[in-house]
Amino acid sequence: MGEFTYPVAMADDVDVQREQEVLDALRVAYETAIQIALTHPDLDRGWRVIEGVRGIIESATTIRYKVLVRLFEVEDHSTTRVGDRTGLSKQRADQLIKAAKKAGIEPSEKK
């Protein structure tokens, strides 16, 4: 999947609206996938759909790690400040950043 970047001139209110639209679309797609997986008469199809969802979730976890590592670098390596920005405890931020680095996950390039 390609990486999406916002145009530099995009206004904050447009960003927030677009973020909400994307999250809403993901929720609908997720709920639809679950419905297919649990009710479709072709069990193989249900399995393929839910395996696709699992792959997407695993990809999102990797992106989450990359964003946390970027925040850690931006915040002068302070897990307290990363926690404040993300709503994570300092300890949880530290755990996730260490796990990301142990897995060899590097931050994404800033665009």
Query: What is the 3-state secondary structure of the chain?
Result: CCCCCCCCCCCHHHHHHHHHHHHHHHHHHHHHHHHHHHHCCCHHHHHHHHHHHHHHHHHHHHHHHHHHHHHHHHCCCCHHHHHHHHCCCHHHHHHHHHHHHHCCCCCCCCC
**Is the confidence at residue 10, as pLDDT, over 80?**
no
pLDDT band at 1 (very low <50, low <70, confident <90, very high): very low
Distance CA 25, CA 17 (A): 12
What is the reported pTM? 0.65
Average pLDDT estimate for 69-86: 89
Interval 67-74 mean pLDDT: 89
Which two tokens mark 43?
Answer: 């069990």
